[in-house]
Amino acid sequence: MSTLPGGAPPNPLREGLRLERMPEPCTFVICGATGDLTRRKLAPALYNLMLGGYLPPEFSVVGFARRQMSDEEFRAHLRTGIDEFSRNRPVNDAVWDSFATGIEYQAGNLDDPEAYAALSARLDRIDRDRGTTGNRLFNLAVQPSLAPEVISHLGASGLARHGGGAGRGGWTRVIVEKPFGFDGASARTLIRQIGEEFEPEQVFRIDHYLGKETVQNLAVFRFGNGLFEPIWNRRYIESVQITVAETVGVEGRGEFYDQTGALRDIVQSHVLQLLAVFAMEPPVEFAARDLHDEKGKVLRAIHRPTPDEVSQMAVRGQYVAGWVAGNKVAAYRDEPEVAPDSETETYVALKLAIDSWRWAGVPFFVRTGKAMAARVTEIAVQFRRPPLALFGRDGAPAMEPNILAIRVQPDEGILIRFGAKVPGPGLTIRSVNMDFRYGSSFTVDSPDAYETLLLDAMLGDATHFTRDDAVERSWDILDPVLEAWASGRGGPVHFYGAGSWGPPAADGLLEPGGFSWRRL
State the catalytic residues.
270
Rg (CA), the chain: 25
CB 333 within 8 A of CB 342: yes
Q: How many CA atoms does the CB half-sphere of 384 hold within 13 Å?
A: 14
Q: What are 82-89's contacts with CB under 8 Å, separation 24+?
A: 82/43, 82/44, 82/47, 84/39, 85/39, 85/40, 85/41, 85/43, 85/44, 86/44, 86/47, 86/48, 87/44, 87/48, 87/445, 87/448, 88/6, 88/47, 88/48, 88/51, 88/445
Q: Which long-range contacts (CB under 8 A, 24 or more apart) does 475-478 make?
A: 475/181, 475/183, 475/184, 475/187, 475/268, 476/184, 476/304, 477/272, 477/299, 477/302, 477/304, 477/352, 478/263, 478/264, 478/267, 478/268
Nearest Cα to Cα of residue 456 among 216, 224, 103, 179: 216
| 3-class SS letters over 219-261 | HHHHHCCCCCHHHCCCCCEEEEEEEEECCCCCCCCHHHHHHHH
Report the alpha-carbon distance of residue 328 to residue 433 in Å, rounded. Answer: 34
Angstrom distance (rounded) from CA 383 to CA 380? 10
> Rounded to an integer, what distance in angstroms lies between the CA atom of residue 265 and that of residue 285?
31
Residue closest to 25 by CA, chosen among 169, 155, 167: 169
Q: Are 478 and 300 in contact (CB under 8 A)?
A: no
Separation CA 21–CA 41 (nearest Å): 20
* Pair 333, 345: CB distance under 8 Å: no
How many helices and strands, by DSSP H and E, does the chain display?
16, 17
